[in-house]
Structure 1
Amino acid sequence: MANILLVARGKTLIQTVGEKWVRNFVNRHKELQTRFSRRYNYQRALCEDPKMIQEWFNLIQITIMQYGILPDDIYNFDETGFAMGLTATTRVITRAEYYVY
Protein backbone atom coordinates (compact mmCIF):
# COMPACT_ATOMS: atom_id res chain seq x y z
CA MET A 1 0.00 0.00 0.00
CA ALA A 2 2.79 2.43 0.89
CA ASN A 3 4.47 1.81 -2.48
CA ILE A 4 1.17 2.51 -4.27
CA LEU A 5 0.79 5.79 -2.36
CA LEU A 6 4.33 6.82 -3.29
CA VAL A 7 3.67 6.15 -6.99
CA ALA A 8 0.34 8.03 -6.80
CA ARG A 9 2.24 11.06 -5.44
CA GLY A 10 4.50 10.96 -8.48
CA LYS A 11 7.53 9.67 -6.59
CA THR A 12 10.10 7.68 -8.54
CA LEU A 13 10.65 4.46 -6.67
CA ILE A 14 14.38 3.98 -6.28
CA GLN A 15 13.73 2.02 -3.11
CA THR A 16 10.43 0.45 -2.22
CA VAL A 17 8.93 -0.07 1.19
CA GLY A 18 10.00 -3.50 2.45
CA GLU A 19 8.02 -6.27 4.13
CA LYS A 20 9.30 -5.31 7.59
CA TRP A 21 8.65 -1.57 7.17
CA VAL A 22 5.76 -1.43 9.66
CA ARG A 23 7.66 -3.37 12.33
CA ASN A 24 10.75 -1.18 11.87
CA PHE A 25 8.62 1.99 11.99
CA VAL A 26 6.96 0.91 15.26
CA ASN A 27 10.35 -0.01 16.73
CA ARG A 28 11.69 3.48 15.90
CA HIS A 29 8.68 5.20 17.50
CA LYS A 30 8.48 4.12 21.14
CA GLU A 31 5.14 5.94 21.56
CA LEU A 32 3.58 3.23 19.36
CA GLN A 33 2.94 -0.41 20.17
CA THR A 34 1.44 -3.34 18.36
CA ARG A 35 -1.38 -5.15 20.09
CA PHE A 36 -3.84 -7.83 19.16
CA SER A 37 -7.46 -6.81 18.93
CA ARG A 38 -9.99 -9.17 20.42
CA ARG A 39 -12.52 -10.70 18.14
CA TYR A 40 -16.06 -9.94 19.15
CA ASN A 41 -19.10 -12.07 19.55
CA TYR A 42 -20.56 -13.66 16.42
CA GLN A 43 -24.03 -12.36 17.35
CA ARG A 44 -22.62 -8.83 17.45
CA ALA A 45 -21.15 -9.36 13.99
CA LEU A 46 -24.57 -10.36 12.68
CA CYS A 47 -25.88 -6.94 13.74
CA GLU A 48 -23.55 -5.13 11.35
CA ASP A 49 -26.41 -4.14 9.11
CA PRO A 50 -25.47 -0.94 7.22
CA LYS A 51 -29.17 -0.03 6.93
CA MET A 52 -29.65 -0.22 10.72
CA ILE A 53 -26.48 1.77 11.32
CA GLN A 54 -27.58 4.45 8.82
CA GLU A 55 -30.99 4.66 10.51
CA TRP A 56 -29.25 5.23 13.86
CA PHE A 57 -27.14 8.06 12.39
CA ASN A 58 -30.29 9.55 10.84
CA LEU A 59 -31.96 9.50 14.28
CA ILE A 60 -28.92 11.20 15.81
CA GLN A 61 -29.01 13.90 13.10
CA ILE A 62 -32.74 14.50 13.68
CA THR A 63 -32.14 14.79 17.44
CA ILE A 64 -29.27 17.23 16.90
CA MET A 65 -31.44 19.41 14.67
CA GLN A 66 -34.54 19.14 16.89
CA TYR A 67 -32.74 20.29 20.03
CA GLY A 68 -30.22 22.63 18.39
CA ILE A 69 -27.22 20.69 19.67
CA LEU A 70 -23.94 22.32 18.65
CA PRO A 71 -20.94 20.30 17.42
CA ASP A 72 -18.94 21.55 20.43
CA ASP A 73 -21.50 19.84 22.70
CA ILE A 74 -21.05 16.38 21.16
CA TYR A 75 -18.54 14.05 22.80
CA ASN A 76 -17.28 10.54 22.13
CA PHE A 77 -16.39 8.54 25.23
CA ASP A 78 -15.66 5.22 23.52
CA GLU A 79 -12.01 4.87 22.59
CA THR A 80 -12.01 1.14 21.94
CA GLY A 81 -13.44 1.24 18.44
CA PHE A 82 -14.18 -1.74 16.22
CA ALA A 83 -13.69 -2.79 12.63
CA MET A 84 -16.82 -3.60 10.68
CA GLY A 85 -16.78 -7.03 9.11
CA LEU A 86 -13.85 -8.18 11.24
CA THR A 87 -14.55 -11.07 13.57
CA ALA A 88 -11.06 -12.57 13.81
CA THR A 89 -8.20 -11.44 16.00
CA THR A 90 -5.82 -9.09 14.21
CA ARG A 91 -2.81 -6.95 15.01
CA VAL A 92 -3.28 -3.18 15.34
CA ILE A 93 -0.94 -0.28 16.09
CA THR A 94 -1.92 2.07 18.91
CA ARG A 95 -0.45 4.68 21.19
CA ALA A 96 1.52 2.86 23.85
CA GLU A 97 -0.81 3.74 26.75
CA TYR A 98 -4.03 2.53 25.08
CA TYR A 99 -5.53 -0.94 24.99
CA VAL A 100 -7.60 -2.40 22.15
CA TYR A 101 -10.66 -4.49 22.98
Structure 2
Amino acid sequence: MADRLLRDRGARRVGTNWASNFVRRRPELQTRFNRRIDYQRVLCEDPDAYRAWFSLVRNTIAKYGIDDTDIYNFDETGFAMGK
Protein backbone atom coordinates (compact mmCIF):
# COMPACT_ATOMS: atom_id res chain seq x y z
CA MET A 1 0.00 0.00 0.00
CA ALA A 2 2.83 2.38 0.81
CA ASP A 3 4.34 1.73 -2.62
CA ARG A 4 1.00 2.51 -4.26
CA LEU A 5 0.70 5.83 -2.41
CA LEU A 6 4.25 6.76 -3.33
CA ARG A 7 3.75 5.77 -6.97
CA ASP A 8 0.74 8.11 -7.18
CA ARG A 9 3.02 10.92 -5.99
CA GLY A 10 5.78 10.00 -8.41
CA ALA A 11 8.16 9.04 -5.58
CA ARG A 12 10.42 5.99 -5.38
CA ARG A 13 9.44 2.72 -3.66
CA VAL A 14 9.86 2.10 0.06
CA GLY A 15 12.82 0.12 1.38
CA THR A 16 12.83 -3.44 2.70
CA ASN A 17 12.61 -2.46 6.39
CA TRP A 18 10.34 0.56 6.05
CA ALA A 19 7.56 -0.83 8.27
CA SER A 20 9.92 -1.62 11.15
CA ASN A 21 11.63 1.74 10.82
CA PHE A 22 8.27 3.55 10.73
CA VAL A 23 7.10 1.85 13.94
CA ARG A 24 10.44 2.58 15.60
CA ARG A 25 10.09 6.31 14.78
CA ARG A 26 6.52 6.51 16.12
CA PRO A 27 6.43 5.87 19.90
CA GLU A 28 2.61 5.68 19.91
CA LEU A 29 2.74 2.56 17.72
CA GLN A 30 3.76 -0.91 18.76
CA THR A 31 3.94 -4.29 17.08
CA ARG A 32 2.19 -7.39 18.38
CA PHE A 33 2.31 -11.04 17.45
CA ASN A 34 -0.92 -12.77 16.45
CA ARG A 35 -2.21 -15.65 18.53
CA ARG A 36 -2.45 -18.98 16.80
CA ILE A 37 -6.04 -20.05 16.04
CA ASP A 38 -6.97 -23.58 17.04
CA TYR A 39 -7.17 -25.78 13.94
CA GLN A 40 -10.60 -27.17 14.90
CA ARG A 41 -11.94 -23.63 15.14
CA VAL A 42 -10.64 -22.85 11.65
CA LEU A 43 -12.46 -25.90 10.29
CA CYS A 44 -15.75 -24.56 11.69
CA GLU A 45 -15.57 -21.25 9.85
CA ASP A 46 -18.09 -20.94 7.03
CA PRO A 47 -17.77 -18.09 4.48
CA ASP A 48 -21.43 -18.50 3.51
CA ALA A 49 -22.48 -17.90 7.12
CA TYR A 50 -20.40 -14.69 7.19
CA ARG A 51 -21.97 -13.50 3.92
CA ALA A 52 -25.45 -14.23 5.28
CA TRP A 53 -24.71 -12.32 8.51
CA PHE A 54 -23.43 -9.21 6.74
CA SER A 55 -26.30 -9.37 4.27
CA LEU A 56 -28.72 -9.40 7.21
CA VAL A 57 -26.94 -6.39 8.73
CA ARG A 58 -27.08 -4.47 5.40
CA ASN A 59 -30.77 -5.29 4.96
CA THR A 60 -31.60 -4.22 8.52
CA ILE A 61 -29.76 -0.92 8.05
CA ALA A 62 -31.63 -0.28 4.79
CA LYS A 63 -35.01 -1.35 6.19
CA TYR A 64 -34.87 1.03 9.15
CA GLY A 65 -32.93 3.83 7.43
CA ILE A 66 -30.09 3.71 9.94
CA ASP A 67 -27.22 6.10 9.23
CA ASP A 68 -23.76 4.49 9.21
CA THR A 69 -22.44 7.14 11.60
CA ASP A 70 -24.99 6.02 14.21
CA ILE A 71 -23.74 2.43 14.36
CA TYR A 72 -20.92 1.29 16.60
CA ASN A 73 -19.84 -1.85 18.42
CA PHE A 74 -21.83 -4.49 16.57
CA ASP A 75 -21.42 -8.26 16.78
CA GLU A 76 -23.55 -11.40 16.51
CA THR A 77 -25.86 -10.21 19.31
CA GLY A 78 -26.78 -6.91 17.65
CA PHE A 79 -25.46 -3.39 17.39
CA ALA A 80 -25.59 -0.25 19.50
CA MET A 81 -26.93 3.01 18.11
CA GLY A 82 -26.40 6.55 19.25
CA LYS A 83 -23.85 9.29 19.42
RCO higher in structure (CA 8 A, sep ≥6): 1
Matched, 1:42 2:39: yes
SS of 1:57 mapped into structure 2: helix
**Structure 1 unaligned blocks of 5 or more:** 79-101
CA distance in 2, matches of 1:58, 1:42: 27
Q: CA RMSD in A?
A: 2.7
- In structure 2, relative to structure 1, the CA distance for the partners of 1:11 and 1:60 (3 Å cut) is same
Output one character per residue of 1:18-71: Cα deviation in whole Å (capped at 9) or x when no partner: 2221111111100000110112222332233322111111222333345x2623
Give the TM-score of the pair, scaled to structure 1. Answer: 0.54
Structure 1 residue 75, shift from structure 2 partner: 1.6
**Structure 2 unaligned blocks of 5 or more:** 76-83
| Identity of matched residues, % | 51
Match of 1:3 in 2: 3
More helix by share: 2
**Comparing 55-64 with 26-35, which one deviates more in the overlay?**
55-64
SS of 1:35 mapped into structure 2: coil
- In structure 2, relative to structure 1, the CA distance for the partners of 1:65 and 1:50 (3 Å cut) is same
